[in-house]
Chain A
Amino acid sequence: MRVSRGARYLAGAAVLMTAVAACGGGGGASGGGGKAAADAINVLGCEPENPLIPADANEVCGGKVLDSLFTGLVEYDPDRNGEPVNAVASAIESKDSKVWTIKLNQGWKFHDGTEVKAKNFVDAWNWSAHSKNGMQNGSWFADIEGFSDVFTEDPDGDGPQKAPEPKSSTMKGLKVIDDYTFEVTLSHPVSVFPVKLGYTTFSPLPDSFFKDPEAFKKKPIGNGPFKFVDRKNQQYIHEEKFAEYKGARAAKVNKLNWKIYQNEDSAYADLVSGKLDFMESIPPSALSGDKWKTDLGERAISGQQMVFQSVTFPMYNKKIWGNAEWRKAISMAIDRDTITDKIFNKGRLPIKGWVAPGVTGAKDGACGEFCTYNPEKAKQLLAEAKQKGFTPPAELKLFYNADRGGHKEWTEAVANSVTQTFGGEVKMVATPYPTFDEFRAAINDHKMEGIYRTGWQADYPHIENFLNPLYKTGASSNDGLYSNKKLDAKLKDADKEVDPAKSQALYQEAEAMLAEDMNAIPLWYYGLQAGHSPNVKNVKVTPFGELDVTSVELNKS
């Protein structure tokens, strides 16, 4: 997944202290004036954390810039709730979900004028997966047969030894048939494979990239609706319309400026005064008391995002893990309605399942009554948990990171809710790690001495993305080491199922199984609070909660 949106800013109390995304208001249209360039739109951006290479973008900031520079085999149609539709691909077919034949449309061009051919995909994927290139998203290609030939790991994890040289520089599962056709063989059936192909990492790369990756880092060349012009560290990234764009969704504005701000409040001030044309993250100070709705009027946009928030119990720590009744008792002691109402001003909405609504296959209510606030039932469950021989810890810690994301307020509210429900019998304390990396390092090393906040932003809009990476035994983001054989089997069945509807039903069954163990307590999903200036019209928001840069238009003045 991409680093969730909150991570861009030090939100919450520390909103103005902005860490990761920084700086330089205004830069965009030289002088920051909205009218400086009549054919440009200024959109809130943030500083990419990695070089602008598709396979290296694992966070929102780089991701949204790359999404406008590249078009993949499929794209997620904002008019159809993010359903994947073919873009560069003309057909993606498979009989067994294992061997996929991909045909390309002809005539697509990169920004340097060369044509997009099958080998641009195959070469890009081979390069991105190769462990010597160390791309952030290299493991996205792990499903392809022959991945282990190009990807090797350090045998002692993080020690002095080095990973052995990969056997090959190509994966044997990738075969170019002709200029416009290639075949992908997976090591096991993956029914959602075509859905994944819209993710930035699967973008094609031009031949020039392989000759000189360093030059590419400075001036990326894509095949998307916009082409890269220039960027200034912490200030702006400028793009312009790509005239020879072949896709259905060509840009309607001539220039696209990502303006990078030090903090959301200053961006918001510019939005209100029309110096910024779009931002998708209205700051808490403006959300408080619904001020933003009066400030923006009709220009306020409410929606929802595919971001799910939960707290996770580490299964490896038996003192905390306890039994199912214990975890359900905690869940039922959390007053989700009041918290989302008072802390988030309804900017987040309580959820009764593990999948954010709006994604393909999402079905509400998998968690049932266990995700409803019910103090009486919670106390009863706690009593049952004790009867079964579990002694709750004297103090249950709820860990979060203090530096970014604004997690302090809600973790404290959750802790208060739990503590007060049980009348002090279980005392929950929200405990911060000073920094996100310290927090994640402790989680990844499986050293949590309490429960901790977790969140998930969809990489692609499909129910599978909320289940496989998080709850399957040994999955990449299953950091609580949850393991349930029955669930694993069910997920495997769903992966194999060729028929999309049946496959989705199987995933839903798997989701419902999570309620038995309650290893992760669902809390809420993110709403979207965005706004635009009076200068633009036809403003649409993608299912990822970002501006659809291709459909937005400028008002003729």
Chain B
Amino acid sequence: MGRYTLRRLLQLIPVILGTTFLIHFLVWNLPGDPFAGRCGERPCNPAYIERMTELYNLNDPLIIQYGKYLLNLLQGNFGEDFRGVPVAETMAEVWPNTVKLAVVALSIEIIIGIGAGVLTGLKRGGFLDNLVMISTLFLMSLPVFVIGYLLQLTLGLQLGIIRPTVSPEMPWSELIVPGFVLASLQVAFTARLTRASIAENMRADYVRTAVAKGLPRRRVVGVHLLRNSLIPAVTFLGTEVGALMAGAIVTEGIFNINGVGQTIYRGIITHDATAVVPMVTVLVLVYLLATLLVDLLYAVLDPRIRYE
């Protein structure tokens, strides 16, 4: 197990390098000119373009550009974005917001998604089952921005229960609705996965054996059934941690949250890769660590899985 973990950690290095290079390459080489959109309907002052090109080493071959960037990065220098604002400053402002939102969303996924999945999986075909299945279906069938708008409109503007937008201090209470919007699709996925896997395992031999042994139902469900049935849901949630952060673009926009998704989106739209590369790198890192954790959890949850 220890050797496995170590190996996985070492594997992170090429993946991170590959990803940063890919992002660096892709964002700086998007079609169009990074500076063409910065001067309204008139061509930019050539002197301005030259200063910027110089500043970001855009005249160098790609690999040297990347090398210089990496060297700066290793020295802890993230550079400045096109507006002259240090990227490190932006990162420090933006990350806590996104993490907060992701934590709320993930909690909602776990509580509602797994909760509903377990409940319905144990009692298939009942009223509750149908209710949960139909409401998760409904959530899945609406694009995130429609759910966001609808909730903002009804709860925020018409009923006045929530603030239509989140205030900059990001109080937890104001994050519940945005968190739910962000989690909505995943909640549905999680609930369905859990339900399917519970229902399947209910018929498994070991459960039958446990029941036959006369173990109390609570123990059968809690120890035997849940442990095995949560694997698909855990996989799913693990892979979604990264997606929750990057995928918050729409939610952050609707609820006025200054987060990573918005910053990356802005960077792509304005062709400003300075903030995009480090942000995506961190996203990928978070993602990789989360999946590693998931893989390790496998072994804990399911003794049938072994890592050599």
User: Which residues of A line the B interface, CB within 8 A?
Assistant: 1-4, 7, 10, 16-20, 22-27, 31-32, 47-51, 58-59, 130-139, 151, 153-154, 157-160, 162-163, 217, 232-235, 261-263, 265-266, 269, 403-404, 435-442, 444, 454-457, 469, 476-477, 479
Is B11 in the interface zone, CB < 8 Å from A? no
In Å, the complex CA distance between A261 and B252 comes to 12
The answer to whether A158 touches B49, judged by C-beta atoms less than 8 angstroms apart, is yes
Is B258 in the interface zone, CB < 8 Å from A? yes
> Which residue of the partner chain, among B50, B51, B82, B165, contacts A266 with CB atoms under 8 Å?
B165
> Which residue of the partner chain, among B83, B165, B250, B271, contacts A50 with CB atoms under 8 Å?
B83
Is B126 in the interface zone, CB < 8 Å from A? no
**Given A269-B157, A440-B37, A476:B48 Cβ within 8 A:** no
Residues from chain A with Cβ under 8 Å of B205 in the complex: none
The answer to whether A136 touches B165, judged by C-beta atoms less than 8 angstroms apart, is no
The answer to whether B31 touches A438, judged by C-beta atoms less than 8 angstroms apart, is yes
The answer to whether B252 touches A262, judged by C-beta atoms less than 8 angstroms apart, is yes
| Closest-CB distance, A59 to chain B (whole angstroms) | 7
> Chain A's interface: helix, strand, loop or mixed, by majority?
loop
Closest to B82 in A: A49
The answer to whether A469 touches B40, judged by C-beta atoms less than 8 angstroms apart, is no
> Which residue of the partner chain, among B33, B35, B258, B271, contacts A24 with CB atoms under 8 Å?
B258
The answer to whether A25 touches B168, judged by C-beta atoms less than 8 angstroms apart, is yes
Is B39 in the interface zone, CB < 8 Å from A? yes
What are 20 A-B pairs at a CB distance below 8 A? A1-B42, A17-B265, A18-B262, A47-B83, A58-B38, A133-B47, A134-B48, A136-B44, A153-B47, A160-B59, A163-B47, A235-B258, A263-B256, A269-B164, A435-B37, A440-B41, A441-B32, A441-B36, A455-B41, A476-B42
In Å, the complex CA distance between A269 and B164 comes to 8
In Å, the complex CA distance between A137 and B263 comes to 26
> Which residue of the partner chain, among B31, B59, B149, B165, contacts A262 with CB atoms under 8 Å?
B165
Q: List residues of B (262-276) whose CB comes within 8 Å of A's CBs.
A: 262-263, 265-266, 268-271
Q: List residues of B (35-77) whose CB comes within 8 Å of A's CBs.
A: 35-53, 59
The answer to whether A23 touches B85, judged by C-beta atoms less than 8 angstroms apart, is no
Closest to B149 in A: A16
**Given A19-B266, A58-B39, A266-B256, A131:B50 Cβ within 8 A:** yes
Closest 6 CB pairs of A and B: A134-B51, A437-B37, A438-B32, A131-B47, A23-B258, A266-B165
**Given A2-B40, A234-B93, A16:B253 Cβ within 8 A:** yes
The answer to whether A479 touches B46, judged by C-beta atoms less than 8 angstroms apart, is no
> Which residue of the partner chain, among A18, A235, A437, contacts B253 with CB atoms under 8 Å?
A18
Residues from chain B with Cβ under 8 Å of A158 in the complex: 33, 49, 53
In Å, the complex CA distance between A7 and B32 comes to 17
Is B257 in the interface zone, CB < 8 Å from A? yes
Max chain A C-beta neighbours (<10 A), residue from B31, B34, B52? B31
| Closest-CB distance, A276 to chain B (whole angstroms) | 12
The answer to whether A154 touches B84, judged by C-beta atoms less than 8 angstroms apart, is no
The answer to whether B30 touches A262, judged by C-beta atoms less than 8 angstroms apart, is no
In Å, the complex CA distance between A439 and B156 comes to 36
**Given A22-B262, A32-B167, A154:B50 Cβ within 8 A:** yes
Is B172 in the interface zone, CB < 8 Å from A? no
Residues from chain A with Cβ under 8 Å of B42 in the complex: 1, 469, 476-477
**Given A22-B262, A138-B48, A50:B84 Cβ within 8 A:** yes
Closest to A14 in B: B253
| Closest-CB distance, A144 to chain B (whole angstroms) | 15
The answer to whether B164 touches A7, judged by C-beta atoms less than 8 angstroms apart, is no
The answer to whether A25 touches B83, judged by C-beta atoms less than 8 angstroms apart, is no
In Å, the complex CA distance between A47 and B258 comes to 12
Closest to B59 in A: A160
User: Which residues of B line the A interface, CB within 8 A?
Assistant: 30-53, 59, 82-85, 89-90, 93, 145, 149, 156-157, 164-169, 249-250, 252-254, 256-258, 262-263, 265-266, 268-271
Residues from chain B with Cβ under 8 Å of A16 in the complex: 145, 149, 253-254
The answer to whether B256 touches A479, judged by C-beta atoms less than 8 angstroms apart, is no
The answer to whether B89 touches A233, judged by C-beta atoms less than 8 angstroms apart, is yes
The answer to whether B38 touches A49, judged by C-beta atoms less than 8 angstroms apart, is yes
| Closest-CB distance, A132 to chain B (whole angstroms) | 7
In Å, the complex CA distance between A456 and B32 comes to 22
In Å, the complex CA distance between A32 and B163 comes to 12
**Given A20-B270, A162-B50, A234-B258, A4:B40 Cβ within 8 A:** yes
The answer to whether A25 touches B50, judged by C-beta atoms less than 8 angstroms apart, is no
**Given A262-B258, A437-B37, A26:B168 Cβ within 8 A:** yes
In Å, the complex CA distance between A158 and B85 comes to 25
Q: Known pairs A20-B270, A154-B50; list 20 more (Cβ under 8 Å).
A: A1-B40, A3-B38, A3-B41, A10-B269, A18-B266, A23-B256, A24-B168, A24-B258, A47-B83, A51-B84, A133-B51, A136-B39, A153-B46, A262-B256, A263-B254, A435-B269, A436-B270, A437-B37, A438-B36, A441-B33
The answer to whether B41 touches A4, judged by C-beta atoms less than 8 angstroms apart, is yes
The answer to whether B266 touches A261, judged by C-beta atoms less than 8 angstroms apart, is no
| Closest-CB distance, B252 to chain A (whole angstroms) | 7
Residues from chain A with Cβ under 8 Å of B164 in the complex: 265-266, 269
Closest to B42 in A: A477
Max chain B C-beta neighbours (<10 A), residue from A27, A139, A159, A232? A139
Residues from chain B with Cβ under 8 Å of A25 in the complex: 165-168, 256
> Which residue of the partner chain, among A32, A134, A135, A437, contacts B38 with CB atoms under 8 Å?
A437
In Å, the complex CA distance between A181 and B285 comes to 61
In Å, the complex CA distance between A459 and B117 comes to 61
| Closest-CB distance, B235 to chain A (whole angstroms) | 31
Residues from chain A with Cβ under 8 Å of B268 in the complex: 435
Max chain B C-beta neighbours (<10 A), residue from A22, A132, A403, A439? A22
Residues from chain A with Cβ under 8 Å of B157 in the complex: 269
In Å, the complex CA distance between A556 and B30 comes to 53
Max chain A C-beta neighbours (<10 A), residue from B31, B84, B145? B84
In Å, the complex CA distance between A27 and B30 comes to 34
The answer to whether B40 touches A7, judged by C-beta atoms less than 8 angstroms apart, is yes
The answer to whether A403 touches B269, judged by C-beta atoms less than 8 angstroms apart, is yes
The answer to whether A438 touches B266, judged by C-beta atoms less than 8 angstroms apart, is no
Residues from chain B with Cβ under 8 Å of A262 in the complex: 165, 252-253, 256-258, 262
The answer to whether B47 touches A138, judged by C-beta atoms less than 8 angstroms apart, is yes
Residues from chain A with Cβ under 8 Å of B167 in the complex: 25-26, 31-32
Closest to A161 in B: B59
The answer to whether B84 touches A19, judged by C-beta atoms less than 8 angstroms apart, is no
**Given A16-B253, A233-B93, A135:B43 Cβ within 8 A:** no
Residues from chain A with Cβ under 8 Å of B30 in the complex: 435, 438
| Closest-CB distance, B84 to chain A (whole angstroms) | 4
In Å, the complex CA distance between A157 and B91 comes to 34
The answer to whether B89 touches A27, judged by C-beta atoms less than 8 angstroms apart, is no
